[in-house]
Chains A and B, each alone.
Chain A
Amino acid sequence: MSVRVQPLQRGAWTRASAPSTIGMIGIGLGLVTLFLALPPVKVRTAPLPVAIGILAVAAGIWAFTRGEHRLGGGAVVSGVAGIGIALIVLQANAARLEGVFVWSALIAATLRYATPLTFAAIGGMFSERSGVVNIGLEGMMLMGAYFGAYGADVTGSWVGGLFIGLISGALLALVHAIFTITLRADQIVTGTAINFLALGVTGYLYNQHYGNNGTPENLPAVPDVNLKFLSHIPPQGLGNFLYNSIGQLNLMVWLSLLLLPVSYVALFKTPIGLRIRSVGEHPKAADTVGIPVYRTRYAAVTLSGALAALGGVFLSIGFVNSFTENMTAGRGFIALAALIFGGWRPFGAFAAALLFGFSSALAARLPDLSASDTAAWPLLFQTLPYVLTLIAVAGVIGRSIPPAAIGRPYVKQ
């Protein structure tokens, strides 16, 4: 007979003053700080936002010291970030502010920046859920970016580019699989090697094919999806807002959004997904019941390379429409951080990707706040996504539990 412990009945006040509630309120206050300083509210004096931000930090510290590290830390970060951004924003004049914080454009840019991260993070999810750490996401993205552009150039259509890019990423991932699964090499070292290889191979081929001229101007691009009907939705303001934010997105942005439910169902609601997860949690048990551990891992890793490559394809022929050496610029690692931050789940990873995407979008637009075109300090905004990633993986906002067998090569008995 088992003894059930009844949850304690708690009063309304106890619940309201629980550290978790205070922590959540703190996060909310931090967001309010941010919101107050930005359009359309635009408080133009420092004291109010700063006071609310300090409240948020205080609530965070209070919750943190009482065991709520996750929410408390989150509240401190959101409060500090809120105050910081509010103070920056106050330096700029109101007209520029309106120009920078066009919310519909920011939403569109956020989605655009989040897309490569989403593809790579979902790819990484399959690999890591099967128990193979994939540090090589960056390299696989870069392969996809180069071969996407090259394929589009050679075949003359973006569809060709997409498939060639996808296959190149899958092949590179296959190398990762051979070395980590069959040869049981260290997964981190191999992943690093994959990144170097991709950097060398794409740089080599790029220089050989395109040299100093760069990729051709008329590279076939993945088309945008124009949802004109959105602008006709009744209140004119709302219609325009919707049209400007999601009405002109690239096809691959929608593809990445579609990938989320598909990958969720595949991983959590199908026998194949169960196999992938069981191989990553307890390969020996999976082997015992007849699941081919090696084959499952091979498939998962190869799929991860293909998906990461799609992120790269979007970068080269969906976003900037050219290829430059090392154009992924650490996005593979940010995607990895998004994956960890999102708890190895598709929607969690997407939420994290949105956060990083928003920071990239801000980094791209905030320099316009500066009154002079020659000022150097807007360059510092470029560090924003990386700093945010650093904060996220440092687990200030929460630590997630990785698949149990991650990083461990499996030895068949």
Chain B
Amino acid sequence: MSGLSGEPPDMTGQTPEVSEPTPESKVPSVAARLALWQRSGGVITPILTALIAFLIGGLVVFATTGKNPLNTYKAIFKGTGLSWLSPVSIHWHLFYPAGIHWTGWDTTSPTALNLQQTLIVVTPLILTGLAVAFAFRCGLFNIGGNGQYTVGALVAVQFGVWFAGLPGPLHVIVAMVAATLAGAVWGGIAGVLKAATGAHEVITTIMLNWIALWVGSYLVGFNGPLQDPRAISAPVTRPIADSAHLHVFWGNPLLQGLHVGFFIAIAMLFVYWILLNRTTLGYEVRAVGFNAEAARYGGISVGRNFFLAMAISGAFAGLAGSIDILGWEFNLDLTVVQTVQVGFIGIAVALLGRNSAIGIFFSALLFGALLTGTSTRNLDPSVFQPELAGNLTRIIQGLVVLFVGADLLIIYLWQARKKLRLPQRKAAEQP
């Protein structure tokens, strides 16, 4: 990663004459480091990382409240509904199973409702995870997922209110495409600035987040242009037309059942993989990510790829915003605009999922479960206060990002393990 205002990349795409290598060009980019890390460990490292994060989170719980962290985690897990996936429930008597009950897959049980909630939360996380991951593969760090999501949600809600006469599927598609484009524009701004002036994307995307937040607050808030004129006392937009609702395929549509947006997110995982690994665009994006200087020398327009990568990233996040609106929110609330955090969680999702499609799916599942399990609705306040638990999620998320970046820590631990083993082996070799 070069400095905060590195050399401006070449917009023209012409091969520049080979200049003396600047100190910055020797710096491995984020993506290059990531690639190294990806080769150096298996699935084990992300799992270890998550475990360490949960362990420290547990220590925090114990140190501050004196409560048994295992019980807290158990209560959180209970709220996620993930146990529904297993058809048997096992009651543990300390160390041995005391009883095994066949529960089957009852689709109306509270556990099933919880699982629907979890998957509803997982859906945007997959997409914001992709938004971070795609930029990452181009060597860019997109922390503007929040803003891109907000812009997408704003556009989706307005398109859902307009065109009320359109037939269902068409209305949904129109609103989604518009929101995706809006997200792409919002992300693309950071890409253009990076390409044209070298402005660091971390700062520009953060600023764009705040701009989206305040513009959104203006539009949705009291007396704003999008505020519902019938609900003067509440800062909320008009509800979208019924034709713009996503189809609910599991559970009761009135009780926030699981909508088809989940499958759209899954499909986007495939799109991401194909785009990155089977197209020229993906090849160029990855080439720039591995080594921008070499890619430029090879005739790839670095600036163009910076823009495209950010725009596509923004598109994923914008789509996430539209799916939440069309799937279960149906209108946009001021508090939602001001407390969006899926973009930030997307960073942890992408990093823990090592920017691979399958990894993103599982880490989105993990963080989605954490979010649902710690929500005020699902966590038993007598076990653990949901407000604390919500912040515990943030701490775990921060720890994951912290440890995921520290590839060397894993290597140090690995070496320490070897050192521990070495004397034993020597002792064994002695006659």
Contacts and interface: CB of A to CB of B under 8 A. Distances in A.
A395 B5 contact: yes
A376 B204 contact: no
Contacts of B208: 386, 390
A186 B202 CA distance: 14
B334 to A, nearest CB: 10
Given A407-B1, A407-B27, A204 B401 contact: no
B88 interface: no
In this complex, the member of B202, B203, B208, B412 whose beta carbon has the largest number of chain A beta carbons within 10 angstroms is B203
Interface stretch (B107-115, B179-187, B193-201, B419-427): B193-201
Interface stretch (B169-177, B270-278, B386-394): B386-394
B23 interface: yes
A400 B3 CA distance: 11
Interface in A330-380: 330, 333, 336-337, 340, 374-377, 379-380
Contact of A402 (B5, B221, B401): B5
In this complex, the member of B143, B400, B401 whose beta carbon has the largest number of chain A beta carbons within 10 angstroms is B401
Contacts of A377: 218
Interface string B228-251: 000000000000000000000000
A105 interface: no
Nearest to B400: A193
A169 to B, nearest CB: 16
In this complex, the member of B4, B5, B400, B401 whose beta carbon has the largest number of chain A beta carbons within 10 angstroms is B4
Interface in B340-354: 344, 347-348, 351
Given A336-B203, A340-B5, A404 B351 contact: no
A183 B412 contact: yes
Contacts of A195: 398
A189 B6 CA distance: 17
Interface stretch (B92-100, B149-157, B209-217, B299-307): B209-217
Nearest to B206: A333
A179 B141 contact: no
A394 interface: yes
Nearest to B200: A393
A408 interface: yes
Interface string B367-401: 00000000000000000010110111111111111
A307 B348 CA distance: 28
B211 A203 contact: no
A374 B391 contact: no
A396 B401 CA distance: 33
B216 to A, nearest CB: 10
B104 interface: no
B141 A194 contact: no
A399 B400 CA distance: 34
Given A192-B347, A203-B394, A333-B206, A379 B214 contact: yes
Interface in A389-411: 389-390, 393-396, 399-400, 402-408
Contacts, number: 196
A329 B409 contact: no
B206 A376 contact: no
Contacts of B6: 402
Contact of B392 (A133, A200, A211, A382): A200
A197 B402 contact: yes
B164 interface: no
A205 B27 CA distance: 38
Nearest to A124: B4
Contacts of A329: 210
A138 B207 CA distance: 13
B288 to A, nearest CB: 17
B60 interface: yes
B430 interface: no
A330 B210 contact: yes
Interface in A190-221: 190, 192-201, 203-205, 207-208, 211
Interface of B: 1-6, 8, 23-24, 26-27, 30, 33, 60, 64-65, 141, 143, 193, 196-200, 202-204, 206-211, 214-215, 217-218, 221-225, 227, 344, 347-348, 351, 385, 387-388, 390-402, 404-409, 412
* Among all A-B residue pairs, the 5 with the closest Cβ atoms: A200-B394, A196-B398, A402-B3, A197-B398, A200-B395
Given A383-B210, A396-B197, 19 more contacts: A179-B406, A183-B412, A188-B1, A188-B202, A192-B141, A192-B401, A194-B398, A194-B402, A197-B394, A329-B210, A333-B202, A376-B218, A376-B224, A377-B218, A382-B214, A386-B207, A390-B199, A393-B199, A408-B27
